[in-house]
Structures are given as C-alpha cells and as structure tokens.
Structure 1
Amino acid sequence: MGFVLRALFYGVIVRVVVLFVLGLNVRHRERLPGRGPAILAANHNSHLDAMALISLLPLRLLPRVRPVAAADYFLRNRLLAWFALNVVGIVPLNRQRRDPDEDLLAPVVDALDRGQILVFFPEGSRGEPEQVAEYKTGLARIAERRPEVPIVPVFTHGLGKSLPKGEWLIVPFFVDVFVGETLRYEGDRAQFMARYRDSMQALAGEEARSRWE
C-alpha cells in the first residue's frame, strides 16, 4: 500500500507540478545515479526541493529513493508524520541528541546499507530564496563512514521562488537543475567539504552563465 501511495504521489502529482507548473530544465542528467546506494547532495530553499529531485529519477528506482528530513519538523504530529513516512518516504533525522550515546547519523547509514538513494541537504534547513547558506559537516561525516558511496552534487535555481520558506502556494517559475560530477570521500572531512563547495560553486556559475546566454 505504501509503495502504491508513493507511486501515485511522485508519479502523478509531483510530476504534473514539476513538468507543467515549474518547467524543470535539467543539465547533465546523465550524471544522476542509476542505482543505489548513492546520495544526491543539493542546496535547500523550498519544500519542493526533494520532490523535484526525486522526480528526476526513473520510477523504477522510486522504492529505493528517500529524502533525509528533520524528524522534529516532519514527525511533529501524527497526520504529518504518516504523510512524511508513508507517502513522501522520508528518512527521519534527529538534529539534536536525546541522550549522549545517540548516533544521529544511524538512520542515514542504515538506509545506505540497504542500497537506497538519498536526497540530502548539507545546509541542514531551508534558507532564504535562492541564497546558499553555510554547509554543515554532516555530509562529510556520512561520507567518512561509507566512503564507497558516490555523492552527487546538485544545484537548483528557482525552487526558492516557486515555494519559499513560510509559503504554501506554488508560484509558477522556471527551474534549472545542474548535476555535478560524482564525489567520493578520500580520507579528510575538511578536504571533502571543500571539494563539495567548489563543485556547487561551479554549478552555480554554470547556472548564472546560462541565464545570460
């Protein structure tokens, strides 16, 4: 039942919004993973971010694709929790430890060990429309624990204007998605995050140049 609901949600509702309301333009689609485990690591401006990214992947991968999302936000009441877990399919992540021994990254690592493709936002939460906030180190800590997992940087532009933080009405706006080259962990957290930032900056520059062409 859960997969049927997810298939209807992503295969019908989300794709209608993405294709006909937003007008999604994807560059370097061939860089997207064809199987799991993998991580799509993207900037975060809107509730539409995860759904738009998941819509880029074939429906056959849907059972293995899940967005990582804040448990304190998406599990804050029973109705929202049911929708987030059963329809959106989130991997809930606690942002604060409930006890000193809690492994905050365990749900993410477990999902990767099951061969899943995760949508992850290194900024941690939605920022201001079309502004990139500081990247936190969670992505590097995940990569350190599973260095064999490919991490694909993805830069989006326009989703923050279509549905910015604090709004619930979707505004039609043309959205660009730029997929970067796969990154792998090479033994140093700071170096890995520097490579990720450089990749995202390069994708942002490519997006800016495309608007001038």
Structure 2
Amino acid sequence: MLATLVAYSVIAGARAITGLRSLWLGTTPRSKQRIYFANHTSHGDFVLLWASLPAALRKRTRPVAGADYWTKGTLRRFVIGEVFKGVLIDRQHSASDHNPLEPMLKALEAGDSLILFPEGTRNLDDEVKLLPFKSGIFHLAKACPQVELVPVWIDNLKRVMPKGRVLPLPLLCTVSFGAPLVAKEDESKEAFLARAVEALLELAPEEEA
C-alpha cells in the first residue's frame, strides 16, 4: 500500500513540476515487451520516462539502475525496490565470471520491459548530445530478439533540475518515443550502436540535434 501511494505521488509530482508531455511519434503505447533506451542527463530521467507510460505498461516496466547508488540508505532501497521494482546492476564488480547483463536478462525472460540508459552515466556536457553507447544494449538485443527497442528522447529535464540545485525549476519537459528497432541477424555491434544513436538523435529538438 505504501509503495503504491508513493508511486502515485511520484507520478503526480513529476507531471506537476515538469508539465510532462508524452509524444508517441514512431510507435504507440501498446502491450509489447520493450526496452526503452533514452538519453541520460539527470537522476530524474527514469522517473520521468516511467511516469510518462500508461498505468498498464508501468506495472511491467522496470528501470535499470546502479546498485552502488540505490542501495545506500533505507529510503533509496525502498524507492528503487518497492516503488519502481528496479533492476539493479553492479557497476563495480570486476570478477571475470561476472555478467553485468544477467539481472536484465532475467527480467526480460520474466516478461518485463526495461528502461535503459546506454550511455551508462549522466551526460553533463552541454556541448555533447550523447556520450558513446555501452555495448550492453547490443548484447540484450541479440539475446532477446523478440523484444522491441524503443528510442526515447527526454528534453529539458536537466534544466528543470540542474546540478547543485535543491528545488526544481518549473519548465515544460517532453518525452518523445521513436520507432522501434531490432538487431539484424548479421549486424555488427558497431553498426547496431551507430543505428541506435542515430535513432535517438533523430528525436532531439532541432536546436539540440
């Protein structure tokens, strides 16, 4: 019950502060297993994307998040585990037998959709639109060809909550959903990642592309 109340509060707060607009430009919000991959400029990115989904899709869509950040403190663990049902990945494990994709693969095998940021970390450089993509999204696409990969551009959130600011600025934010991608059978990692980057940049506003 508490997690449900917190979830509704998060959604209402995100929409009120950002004036959230969801633009389904290349697809529709349908019950299809997907990986939503987006640009990453703020800690609030996955919250805004998650809040922009219809309720039926939110129930089976889980954000991928770093365990090193979200397991620090009782409140963070509650929020990511009980409210968002997040898939936590260990970004600091270096053992040769450790597969960082395993938690994501298990979630996909269970029928869940994911929210993923292929840059791997927040992009705080205003001069660079996207950081190089990590290879994880390619390996997920190859391992789960039945899952659609939907590019999502999140616009303005970094301005709403700039680094170092305690209170957000009331600015309009837009979450734009593009056409789904699938990995081609003989496609190389480099070719797929380039195509994924291009699909995401095509959704950026003209002044940011």
Bucket of the pairwise TM-score, normalised by the shorter protein: 0.7 to 0.9
Q: Deviations over 1:89-108 (max 9, x none)?
A: 21001113342211110100
Match of 2:93 in 1: 97
Which AA in structure 2 matches 1:7? T
Match of 2:148 in 1: 150
1:61 equivalenced with 2:46 (yes/no) = no
Instruction: Pick from 153, 159, 162 the counterpart of residue 161 of structure 1.
Output: 159
Alignment of structure 1 residues 33-112 onto 2, 5 Å:
33-112=29-108
2:46, 2:165 → 1: CA distance? 16
Q: Deviations over 1:38-68 (max 9, x none)?
A: 1100001112211111112221233311100
1:120, 1:32 → 2: CA distance? 19
Secondary structure (helix, strand or coil) at the match of 2:146 reads coil
1:25, 1:53 → 2: CA distance? 10
1:20 equivalenced with 2:16 (yes/no) = yes
- Is the contact between residue 26 and residue 178 of structure 2 (CA under 8 Å) also seen in structure 1? no
2:30, 2:60 → 1: CA distance? 11
Match of 1:189 in 2: 189
Change (3 A) 1:23 1:145: same
2:114, 2:176 → 1: CA distance? 17
- Is the contact between residue 36 and residue 64 of structure 1 (CA under 8 Å) also seen in structure 2? no
RMSD between aligned residues: 2.2
- Is the contact between residue 32 and residue 152 of structure 1 (CA under 8 Å) also seen in structure 2? no
Match of 2:135 in 1: 137
Match of 2:5 in 1: 8
2:80, 2:24 → 1: CA distance? 29
Which AA in structure 2 matches 1:199? A
- Is the contact between residue 25 and residue 179 of structure 2 (CA under 8 Å) also seen in structure 1? no
1:189, 1:172 → 2: CA distance? 40
Q: Deviations over 1:92-138 (max 9, x none)?
A: 01113342211110100000111111110001111217643222111
Which AA in structure 1 matches 2:198? D
- Is the contact between residue 24 and residue 178 of structure 2 (CA under 8 Å) also seen in structure 1? yes
1:74, 1:200 → 2: CA distance? 26
- Is the contact between residue 68 and residue 91 of structure 1 (CA under 8 Å) also seen in structure 2? yes
Secondary structure (helix, strand or coil) at the match of 1:50 reads helix
- Higher mean alpha-carbon deviation, 55-64 vs 155-164, is at 55-64
| Structure 2: stretches of 5+ with no match in the other structure | none
Of Structure 1 and Structure 2, which has the larger fraction of its residues in helix? 1
- Is the contact between residue 148 and residue 185 of structure 1 (CA under 8 Å) also seen in structure 2? no
| Structure 1 length-normalised TM | 0.86
- Is the contact between residue 137 and residue 193 of structure 1 (CA under 8 Å) also seen in structure 2? yes
1:140, 1:154 → 2: CA distance? 16
